[in-house]
Amino acid sequence: MVSQYLNRKIRNKLLIAHDVSMAGNQRWDTISAICDGLDVMFATTKIDPDTGKPLFAHVSSHAHTLTGYWASELVGRDPKVLHAYATNTEEARKFMKTLAKTGHAETRLINRRKNGDLYGCHIIACSAPGQDAQKPIFFAFLADCAIGECV
């Protein structure tokens, strides 16, 4: 599977991370290692049964490079922790709604690092394979992009 991507002129590291990670039923730590090697942050989110809001359940170590937060600082927190005054909240809501409805979504948002710096964030997310429909888990693949590419 990987060799198909290596022969392409244009390679999107998020799509490569997504496709390689979704091939087979891999453990989160294995997916994290694959993504970290591609300079992609891998995160899983689940829905908090009490609030109905998404929470980070697992975050790869590349989170520190991308966001300035250590993985342990993000686990258990709402992904909105990365939002800034410049984040298009309507686009973020649309992204989450599409993800919940179709099981796949993609967007580019302006986010905020722990130190307050803004950065462009390209996000591809999908439903985790083999999950319980009553307790959905989503996979997210995040990488930096030019702020000008963000909505």
User: In this predicted model, what pLDDT tens digit does every residue of 78-89 receive, in sequence order?
Assistant: 999 999 999 999
SS (H, E, C) 30-51: HHHHHHHHCCCEEEEEEECCCC
Higher pLDDT, 14 or 109: 109
**Which CATH number fits the domain that encloses residue 116?**
3.30.450.20
123: nearest Cα among 99, 141, 149, 146: 141
User: In this predicted model, what pLDDT tens digit does every residue of 39-90 receive, in sequence order?
Assistant: 999 999 998 888 888 999 999 999 999 999 999 999 999 999 999 999 999 9
Q: What's the total number of domains in the chain?
A: 1
pLDDT of residue 52: 84
pLDDT of residue 26: 77
Q: Output the pTM of the full model.
A: 0.87
70: nearest Cα among 37, 41, 33: 41
User: Which residues are CB-neighbours of 120 under 8 A, at least 6 positions away?
Assistant: 108, 109, 110, 111, 144, 145, 146, 147, 148, 149, 150
Question: What's the domain range around 51?
Answer: 2-149
Structure tokens at 35: 């993504």
User: In this predicted model, what pLDDT tens digit does every residue of 12-39 receive, in sequence order?
Assistant: 887 888 887 777 777 888 889 989 988 9
Q: Is 148 helix (H, G, I), strand (E, B) or coil?
A: helix
